Amino acid sequence: MKITKHITPLCLLLLALCYCDGPMALANDGTAPEVTDLNAKDVSMEWEKSIPYLKEAYVNSQPKKMKDDIPVGALGVDGGDKEMILAFAREVVADSDKERKDKTDSLLISHKGKLIFESYSRRGRQNVPHFQMSITKSYTAFALGRAIQLGYLKMEDLNKPVVDFLKELDRSKLVKGAESVTLAEALNMRSGITLIKEKIRKYKEQPESLQGQKQVQAYFECSEPITPAPRKFRYQPADPALIMQVLETVVPSSAKEFIRKQLMGKMGITEYAWQEDTSRLPKSAAGSSFRSRDMLKFGMLIRDKGKWKGEQLIPQAFVERAVSPISVGWGTNHYGYFCWHRTLKHDGQEYPSIELRGALGQFVFIFPEQDLIVVATAHGVMSMLKEIPEQIIPAFTK
C-alpha cells in the first residue's frame, strides 16, 4: 500500500478498531490483516499500545506473493513439518494460555529462500512497522557496511580510531585512551567507554549540548580513562552512537538520507520509521520501526552474504565479520558487529545461530545449516529467544 498523506495516531486507532474484525470475517484473499492508511511516522512503542488485539489470529502456511521481492512457498511442500509448526503457532497465538508470558504479534518462517509461513496475532499487522529496540544496532552496522561497499570507507578503516573521522572534537578534553578506540571495537561493543554519572548529568539536563559531534565529545569526556585493548565487552548505547556519527561524517549526504536511499531504498523498504537522537542523527541503539516482512529481508541479506537481488549491497567480508563470534557477550552468547551468534543444542546436535535481537521481542534468527530464517515480533518478555530454536528447529531437522 502506498502512503500518500500523514494522519494522526488517533485516526489510526479508529481505523484499527474498525478493521480488527475484518481479516477473518471477510472472504480471505490471502493477505494478512492491516491497519489502513498507515503512516510509519506514527509508529512508536507507546502508539503500539493503542492497536487493538485481533479477535482472530491470521495464520497462513502458504503466504501470498506480494510486490516486495520476497519469494513464497508452502509449509511442508517446501520444507518443514507442517503439523509441528502449526501446533506451535496455535500455542503462540492462543490468548487462553495464561502460562505464556510474552505476547507474540507476528511469526514468519523462510526456508531455502522462500517465505513458507506467516502469522499475525494480537497487535500484529502485516503493514504496520513494529517498534525495534536493540535490533536497531544491527541495522546501523549494515548501514556502515553499505558505506564501505560504495567506497566511502574501506574495510581497513575499521581498524582506525573513531576520533580520526570526527574533526569537530576537541581532543585536548578527551580522557586518556579515547584516541585509540577503533570502529571495529565500537561495532563489537568494546569501546571501553565507562560513563561517570556525575559528569554526564549536566549533558542530560541540556540536550542541546549533545547535538552533532558534541555527543561523542561528551562520551569521551565523561568516561573513566579507557584502558588499552583488548577491552571487555560492555553492552551500551555509546558504541553504536559512535558508528552513526562516523557514518554521518563519511557519506555525501546525511546518515538519515543515506540509510533511506542507499540501504532501505535498495531493498524496497519504504514504510519504516527511525527516531532522531539528541544528536539529531538517527538513533542507533534503539528507535527504528520495521514491518515483519522487511525484517525478513535483513535475514535474507545475511543469508546471501550481503547481496540483494543479485547486487552486492554490503561487502561479503563485512557481513561475515558482522555475524561471526568475535567476542563473548555472556554465557553462550557471542557478539560480532552488533549481531549475536550462538551455538544451540537440541537432542545432542549443535546448530549455529545468527541472531538480530531487540528487547521485549524483535528477532531475526538465521540458521545457516538449515537454510532457515525466523522472524518474530512481540510485546512482553523474550520467550521466543528460547522457543524459536526449541520449537522450530526440530521441524526442519527430522
First to last CA, the chain: 39
Res. 191: pLDDT tops 70: yes
Tens digits of residue pLDDT in 342-366: 998 878 888 999 999 998 889 999 9
Q: How confident is the model at residue 134, as a pLDDT?
A: 94
Q: What dotted CATH number matches 9-134+289-396?
A: 3.40.710
Residue 211, CA distances (Å) to 153, 216, 282, 288 in order: 24, 9, 12, 19
- Of 135-144, 320-329, 356-365, 377-386, the range with the lowest mean pLDDT is 377-386
User: Quick check: 155 and 303 in contact, CB under 8 A?
Assistant: no
Mean pLDDT across the stretch 373-378? 96
Residue 179, CA distances (Å) to 124, 197, 211 in order: 45, 21, 21
Mean pLDDT across the stretch 233-241? 95
Tens digits of residue pLDDT in 162-172: 999 999 999 99
Whose cell is 494522526? That residue is 8
- Of 21-25, 98-102, 239-243, the range with the lowest mean pLDDT is 21-25
User: Regarding predicted confidence, which is higher, 43 or 305?
Assistant: 305
Q: How confident is the model at residue 43 (pLDDT cuts 50, 70, 90)?
A: low
Nearest-Å Rg of the Cα atoms of the chain is 21
Backbone φ and ψ of 195, nearest 5°: -70, 140
Q: How confident is the model at residue 368, as a pLDDT?
A: 96
HSE, side-chain direction, 13 A CA sphere, residue 91: 15
Beta bridge partners of 182: 161
Domain boundaries, the chain: 9-134+289-396, 153-250
Question: Which residues, other chains included, contact 376 with Cβ-Cβ below 8 Å and sequence gap of 6+?
Answer: 104, 106, 107, 108, 361, 362, 363, 365, 384, 388
Averaged pLDDT of the chain: 87
Q: How confident is the model at residue 232, as a pLDDT?
A: 94
- Of 33-42, 60-69, 92-101, 162-171, the range with the lowest mean pLDDT is 33-42
Residue 155, CA distances (Å) to 145, 178, 238, 256, 317 in order: 9, 21, 22, 22, 8
- Among 194, 189, 195, which Cα is nearest to 329's? 189
Task: Report percent pLDDT > 90 for the chain.
Answer: 71
Cell of 93: 497465538
Cell of 88: 506451535
3-state secondary structure the chain: CCCCCCCCHHHHHHHHHHHCCHHHHCCCCCCCCCCCCCCHHHCCHHHHCCCCCCCCCEEECCCCCCCCCCCECCCECCECCHHHHHHHHHHHHCCCCCCCCCEEEEEEEEECCEEEEEEECCCCCCCCCEEECCHHHHHHHHHHHHHHHCCCCCHHHHHCEHHHHCCCCCHHHCCCCHHHCEHHHHHCCCCCCCECHHHHHHHHHCHHHHCCCHHHHHHHHCECCCCCCCCCCCCCCHHHHHHHHHHHHHCCCCHHHHHHHHHHCCCCCCCCEECECCCCCECCCCCEEECHHHHHHHHHHHHCCCEECCEECCCHHHHHHHCCCCEEEECCEEECCCCEEEEEEECCEEEEEEEEEECCCEEEEEEHHHCEEEEEEEECCCCHHHHHHHHHHHHHCC
Question: Which residues, other chains included, contact 331 with Cβ-Cβ below 8 Å and sequence gap of 6+?
Answer: none
pTM: 0.89
